[in-house]
Amino acid sequence: MDRVIFACRHNAGRSQMAAAFFRQLADPTKAEAVSAGTTPGDRVHPEVAAVMGEIGVDLSGARPQLLTRDLASGARLLVTMGCGEECPYVPGVEVLDWPLEDPKGKPVERVREIRDEIRTLVVDLLRRNSWSADGR
């Protein structure tokens, strides 16, 4: 099974949305997702939880966590999201960067746009790696 890590600075927005979409759309026998951050926040941003809730994705149990070597161990892919110089380096792991805007404090309309952009990127990632639950 392949492991994908979605990482952003606070693990309270972009990476939480990406991991949630990945879990929802991936074949769990082929790949799993973990989200983490370089400087984790205290909780998922309320505006992120709200827009994900609008589409039936519950992030109430999601908790930001620190990206550690142990957590990254055995990962096939690290997807970074706008963490710039704070993006982690994990030896031997392929890195893909999605330069996404941080949704924290943004108007709900913009957070929805970021959410939808992340979903599109996750769907494409799943298809390119044959991880989709729908077999595509």
- The predicted model gives 16-24 an average pLDDT of 97
Distance separating alpha carbons of residues 30 and 46, to the nearest angstrom: 31
Q: What's the structural domain count of the chain?
A: 1
Residue 41: the pLDDT is 94
User: Does any domain span residue 133?
Assistant: no
The model's pTM = 0.94
Torsional class of 129: left (φ above 0), alpha (ψ -120 to 50), beta (otherwise): alpha
Distance separating alpha carbons of residues 28 and 30, to the nearest angstrom: 5
User: Does any domain span residue 134?
Assistant: no
Task: Give the domain CATH number at 60.
Answer: 3.40.50.2300
> Mind listing the pLDDT tens digit for each residue in 52-92?
999 999 999 999 999 888 888 889 999 999 776 666 677 78
Q: Do the beta carbons of residue 45 and residue 59 sit within 8 Å?
A: no
Residue 13: the pLDDT is 96
Question: Quick check: 135 pLDDT over 70?
Answer: no
Residue 90: the pLDDT is 75
Contacts of 99 (CB under 8 A, 6+ apart): 81, 82
- Position 134 confidence tier, pLDDT thresholds 50, 70, 90: confident
Question: Quick check: 38 pLDDT over 70?
Answer: yes
User: Does any domain span residue 51?
Assistant: yes
User: Does any domain span residue 48?
Assistant: yes
> Mind listing the pLDDT tens digit for each residue in 109-125?
999 999 999 999 999 99
User: Does any domain span residue 105?
Assistant: yes
- The predicted model gives 22-42 an average pLDDT of 95
